[in-house]
């Protein structure tokens, strides 16, 4: 099933080290599954759903993986951004009838972000598998 699938990867590059790990793991997993993909980066996590929306209007993808990292600061900004992204991604997934897996990490600090983006945790692989689980249920 996976061989003919086309994925869209949109990643926030606000924390380049974290994003680089997530992108590398996502593309490695998709390569292993022989899936096609296109990847794009944006500056912040809040821009991820916006670019996903624009690209879904222009092109056909079977699934989308959203990547990035948000680290809690001293204000409530973290909560607003995280909630907005989750709501936007859910809405886009329903609007376009495309599974969009959210692998934008919400972390307390950089140490936690490094652990959660590591190969051992492989949150991006989980995101790919989540999207595939939806696609498997709609196969003809």
Pair 44, 106: CB distance under 8 Å: no
Name the residues annotated as catalytic: 77
At residue 75, the pLDDT reads: 76
> What is the pLDDT, as a whole number, of residue 118?
84
Q: What are the tens digits of pLDDT across the range 53-110?
A: 999 999 999 999 999 999 997 777 888 999 999 999 999 999 999 999 999 999 999 9
Sign of CA dihedral 24, 30, 31, 33: positive
Query: How does the average pLDDT of the chain come out, rounded?
Result: 92
pLDDT band at 25 (very low <50, low <70, confident <90, very high): very high
Domain residue ranges in the chain = 2-137
What is the CATH number that goes with domain 2-137? 3.40.50.960
Alpha-carbon torsion (106, 109, 113, 116), positive or negative: negative
**Beta carbons of 70 and 105 less than 8 angstroms apart:** yes
């Amino acid at each position: 099933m996976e061989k003919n699938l086309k994925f869209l990867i949109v990643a926030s590059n606000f924390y380049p080290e974290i994003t680089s790990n997530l992108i590398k793991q996502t593309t490695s997993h998709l390569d292993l599954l022989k899936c096609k993909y296109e990847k794009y980066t944006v500056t912040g996590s809040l821009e991820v759903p916006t670019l996903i929306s624009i690209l879904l209007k222009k092109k056909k993808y079977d699934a989308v993986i959203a990547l990035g990292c948000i680290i809690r600061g001293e204000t409530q900004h973290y909560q607003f951004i995280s909630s907005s992204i989750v709501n936007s991604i859910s809405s886009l997934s329903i609007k376009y009838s495309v599974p969009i897996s959210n692998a934008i990490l919400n972390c307390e600090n950089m140490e936690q972000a490094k652990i959660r983006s590591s190969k051992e945790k492989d949150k991006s692989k989980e995101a790919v598998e989540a999207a595939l689980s939806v696609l498997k249920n709609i196969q003809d």
